[in-house]
Amino acid sequence: MNPQIKRLENLLELSAQNWPSKTALEEEGRSINYEKLNKVSNLIARALKESFGESQFRAAIYYPKSIESVAILFGILKAGGTYIPLDYEAPESRNLFIIKDCAVSVIFTTSDKCPSLKKSLSGSIQDLNIDGLNQVSLLPIQTNPIQPDGLAYMLYTSGSTGKPKGVMFSHSNALHFVNWCSNQFFPDENSVFSSHASFHFDLSILDLYLSIKHGSKLILISSKESKNPLALSHLIETKKITHWYSTPTILKLMVNYGKIERHDHSSLKYVLFAGEVFPVNPLKKLTLLWSTARFFNLYGPTETNVCTYYEVKLPVDVNRIEPFPIGKICEGLKSKTITTFEGKPELYISGPNVSQGYWNNEGLNKSSFENSEGVNWYKTGDLVDQDLEGNYIYLGRKDRMVKKNGFRVELDEIENTINSNQQIIDVAVIGKINSDFECRIIAFIQINDEEGNILELKKYCLENMPHYMTPDVFVILENIPKTSTDKTDYQKLHHLNEF
Amino acid sequence: MEQVKDKQFLLDYIKTEFLSNTEIEGFNEDTPLVSSRIMDSISTIQLVDFIEKEFEVEFFHHEVDQENLDSVNLMWEFIKSKKQ
Q: Is residue B21 part of a domain?
A: no
Instruction: State how many domains chain B has.
Output: 1
Angle at CA of residue A90, ends A356 and A205, nearest 5°: 40
- Within 10 Å of residue A388's Cβ, how many Cβ atoms? 5
Q: Is residue B55 part of a domain?
A: yes
Contact (CB, 8 A) for A198 and A192: no
Contact (CB, 8 A) for A405 and A436: no
Q: Is residue B71 part of a domain?
A: yes
- Within 10 Å of residue A309's Cβ, how many Cβ atoms? 23
In this structure, which amino acid lies at residue A350?
A: S
Q: Is residue B23 part of a domain?
A: no
Q: Is residue B53 part of a domain?
A: yes
Q: Give A378→chain B minimum CA distance, Å.
A: 34
DSSP category for residue B4: P
Choose among A356, A479, A360, A343: nearest CA to A398: A343
pLDDT digit string, tens, across residues A23-63: 999 999 999 999 999 999 998 998 888 888 888 889 999 99
Residues 53-82 of B with CB under 8 A from A: 59-62, 64
Give per-10-residue mean pLDDT for chain A (499 aa).
87 97 96 96 89 85 94 94 94 91 88 80 61 49 58 92 91 96 98 97 97 98 94 97 96 95 97 93 96 98 97 95 95 95 91 95 94 92 95 91 88 89 89 86 85 79 89 89 81 76
Q: Is residue B24 part of a domain?
A: no
Global pTM reads: 0.88
Asked whether the beta carbons of residue A228 and residue B64 sit closer than 8 angstroms, the reply is yes
Structural domain that includes position B49:
7-16+32-83
Q: Give A417→chain B minimum CA distance, Å.
A: 19
A to B CB pairs, distance under 8 Å: 38
Phi, psi for A80 (deg, rounded to 5): 85, 10
Asked whether the beta carbons of residue B20 and residue A474 sit closer than 8 angstroms, the reply is yes
Facing residue for B22 by CB, picked from A256, A257, A454: A454
Question: Which residues on chain B are in Cβ contact (under 8 Å) with A228?
Answer: 41, 45, 61, 64
pLDDT digit string, tens, across residues B26-81: 789 999 998 887 888 888 999 999 999 999 999 999 999 999 999 999 999 999 99
* Residue B22 contacts A, CB cutoff 8 Å: yes
Whether ipTM tops 0.90, in short, is no
Report the C-alpha dihedral over residues A306, A308, A312, A318, rounded to 10 degrees: -110
Q: Is residue B25 part of a domain?
A: no
Asked whether the beta carbons of residue B45 and residue A253 sit closer than 8 angstroms, the reply is yes
Q: Give A32→chain B minimum CA distance, Å.
A: 24
* Residue B40 contacts A, CB cutoff 8 Å: yes
Q: Is residue B46 part of a domain?
A: yes
Could you give the 3-state DSSP secondary structure of residue B38?
Answer: coil
Q: Give A231→chain B minimum CA distance, Å.
A: 5
Q: At residue B20, does pLDDT exceed 80?
A: no
